[in-house]
Amino acid sequence: MSSGFAKLKAESLKELFVKEIEAKIISGQLKPGERLPPERELASLMGVSRSIVNSGILELASKGFVRIIPRRGTIVQDYKNEGTPAILASIMSYNEGKLSPRLFNSMMDTRLLIEVESARLAAENRTDEDLRIMETLIKKAEKNRDIEAHVKFNYNFHHRITIASGNVVYAMIFKSFEPACLNLIGIYFKSGDYIDKSLSSHKKLFQSIKERQKDDAGKIMEEILLEGRSRLVHLAVTGES
């Protein structure tokens, strides 16, 4: 009898393998400096092929969860100090969207530093194309009040501002936080009726950038981020250190 189950593909097995190892590292079952079992043994223990284990370990290494050392094997990294922004998404997935106070505050401080300055720079450096894209995003958001759509609008609008700043590093750093940002923005908008207020604030931000009022742009961006932070600290922060 069919129960709607689909056959697992190699790719989904790799994702399951990666999530399982990530969970063991984040939970502390696997500690920094500890060596993973050899690939052949891991494959046997977890019931997958050695190729899946190999590709999964490579992905874990690219994120910063493990380090592959020739002739020594795969060593668990101290991800809190050695990890990449990709780890934020894994931590939030493991903690049902939540971050420790230290990670949450670190991320919000980073967003304030980058985005407030990006808003100021965007007011100086924005192009007609930047304005056209931002205005199009706002018009679409006004027509579609769906929460998921507004979460995407919020992230894309802020990303566009980092692009308009002219600082390619700011834009790349912000883009690297995309999964974590989308998760936090989603938690915020699902917690209350904030879409109208958000649209109003972002329209003011757009107008200040359009009129090249850099001080106003920076101030409005700061207000947007601080308001979100004040609510998210009660919604998206775990009790963990």
Domain boundaries, the chain: 10-84, 87-235
Give the CATH fold of the 10-84 domain.
Arc Repressor Mutant, subunit A (1.10.10)
As averages over each run of 10 residues, the pLDDT of the chain (241 residues) reads: 57 89 93 95 94 95 94 92 85 84 92 98 98 98 96 98 98 93 95 96 98 98 97 85 52
Residue 1, pLDDT score: 45
The candidate with the shortest Cα–Cα distance to 150, out of 97, 103, 201, 108, is 201
Residue 12, pLDDT score: 86
Residues near 228 by Cβ (< 8 Å), separated by ≥ 6? 184, 185, 188
Structure tokens at 71: 């002739």
The candidate with the shortest Cα–Cα distance to 209, out of 128, 154, 148, 95, is 128
Degrees to nearest 5, angle at CA 221 with 220 and 226: 100
- For residues 50, 53, 57, 58, the Cα torsion angle rounded to the nearest 10 degrees is 60
Residue 4, pLDDT score: 61
The candidate with the shortest Cα–Cα distance to 94, out of 42, 161, 155, 22, is 22
Give me the count of residues in the chain.
241
Structure tokens at 93: 């997935």
Q: Which amino acid is at 64?
A: G
Q: Which CATH number fits domain 87-235: 1.20.120.530, 3.40.50.1100, 1.10.1060.10, 1.10.443.10?
A: 1.20.120.530
